[in-house]
């Protein structure tokens, strides 16, 4: 366990984007929240600006909680994009870089197996990157909550501060659930990226993408079918329809200002979106885990016999 912990720390030290990318993204959103609170940025409805303070004051506590969940849920979606981008480029680089800078010679001289090394890369993608991003998301959510809460408190209402903790907790639960199911669903993709990273001598991204496009195009030309393209599309986007559901309970709310009207249908709770049963019973999940195991085993085998070139 101590060896794996050291290897995971090594990955974080060597690949600083794991921490820096979420922090940069968080800084942008905190800056936007501060500018909105200062009045430098206005919410636009059609061609008319809406006063954020006035809009929040017009809601009851239930509506405020639902609006905050919607806002933080949208923030979580953006953080999820960051997670996937960081993970993709990390996996493409992690085994390729050690051959490029010849540090693989040092690691092969140590009593650490290829399985342990490749496993640490995969665990970094599945665990470390999501945990770092979720932690930064939580800090960002707390910052936005305090900024908007203090803004409305100055106007004479503590409703946002009262509704915020529940909204943050609900959103955090959904965010953690989302990264868990995505890590499991995307495991075949992670295994493929590891295999390309350990095998390719150059142009790693092209080697990761072109064979898939070529296989799709050849199938279309030879057989006139699109099964490979469908499988790839379902592997990238299919997790959302399996792991989440549409809740029946919604809160309808209308906000009217001078020259502007905003109609929203808000979820009573984002946790109502969670539906793990369909996901866990999906053949695509279990078939994907088998494919991921084979691809990861192939990456371990290639690294064992691959030189530093």
Does residue 7 sit within a domain? Answer: no
Domain containing residue 74: 15-305
Does residue 164 sit within a domain? Answer: yes
Question: Based on the structure, what is the number of domains in the chain?
Answer: 1
Dist CA 149 CA 162 (whole Å): 9
Neighbours of 163 (CB within 10 A): 24
pLDDT of residue 196: 95
Does residue 22 sit within a domain? Answer: yes
Does residue 116 sit within a domain? Answer: yes
Dist CA 162 CA 72 (whole Å): 16
Does residue 39 sit within a domain? Answer: yes
Query: Is 273 in contact with 244 (CB distance < 8 Å)?
Result: yes
Dist CA 187 CA 284 (whole Å): 11
Counting runs of H as helices and runs of E as strands, what totals does the chain give?
13, 4
Neighbours of 267 (CB within 10 A): 18
The tally of CA atoms less than 13 A away on the side-chain side of residue 273 is 22
Does residue 2 sit within a domain? Answer: no
Does residue 45 sit within a domain? Answer: yes
Neighbours of 46 (CB within 10 A): 10
pLDDT of residue 182: 93
pTM of the model: 0.87
pLDDT of residue 89: 94
Does residue 70 sit within a domain? Answer: yes
Q: Going residue by residue through the chain (309 aa), what tens digit of pLDDT does each one get?
A: 588 888 899 889 889 999 999 999 999 999 988 887 776 666 665 555 666 666 666 777 777 777 788 888 888 888 998 999 999 999 999 988 888 877 777 777 778 888 999 999 999 999 999 999 999 999 999 998 888 788 777 666 676 777 778 888 989 999 999 999 999 999 999 999 999 999 988 889 999 999 989 999 998 888 888 888 888 888 988 898 899 887 655 665 666 666 556 666 666 678 888 889 999 999 999 999 999 999 999 999 998 876 555
């Amino acid at each position: 366990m101590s060896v794996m912990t050291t290897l995971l720390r090594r990955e974080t030290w060597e690949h600083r984007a794991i921490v820096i990318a979420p922090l940069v993204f968080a800084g942008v959103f905190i800056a936007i929240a501060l500018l909105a609170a200062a009045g430098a940025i206005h919410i636009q409805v059609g061609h008319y600006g809406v006063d954020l303070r006035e809009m929040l004051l017009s809601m009851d506590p239930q509506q405020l909680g639902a609006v905050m969940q919607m806002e933080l849920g949208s923030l979580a979606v953006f953080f999820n994009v960051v997670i996937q981008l960081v993970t993709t480029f990390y996996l493409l680089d992690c085994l390729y870089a050690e051959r490029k800078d010849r540090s693989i010679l040092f690691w092969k001289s140590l009593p650490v197996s290829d399985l342990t090394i490749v496993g640490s890369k995969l665990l970094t993608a599945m665990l470390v990157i999501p945990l770092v991003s979720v932690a930064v998301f939580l800090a960002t959510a707390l910052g936005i909550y305090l900024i908007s809460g203090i803004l409305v408190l100055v106007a004479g209402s503590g409703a946002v501060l009262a509704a915020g903790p529940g909204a943050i907790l609900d959103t955090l639960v959904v965010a953690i659930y989302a990264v868990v199911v995505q890590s499991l669903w995307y495991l075949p993709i992670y295994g493929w990226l590891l295999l390309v990273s350990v095998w390719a001598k150059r142009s790693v991204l092209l080697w990761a993408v072109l064979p898939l496009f070529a296989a799709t195009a050849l199938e279309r030309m030879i057989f006139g079918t699109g099964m490979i393209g469908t499988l790839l599309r379902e592997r990238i986007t299919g997790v959302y329809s399996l792991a989440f559901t549409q809740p029946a309970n919604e809160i309808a709310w209308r906000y009217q200002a001078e020259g502007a009207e905003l109609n929203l249908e808000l979820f009573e709770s984002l946790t109502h979106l969670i539906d793990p049963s369909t996901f866990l019973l999906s053949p695509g999940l279990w078939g994907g885990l088998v494919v991921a195991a084979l691809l990861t085993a192939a990456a371990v085998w290639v690294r064992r016999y691959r030189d530093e070139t």
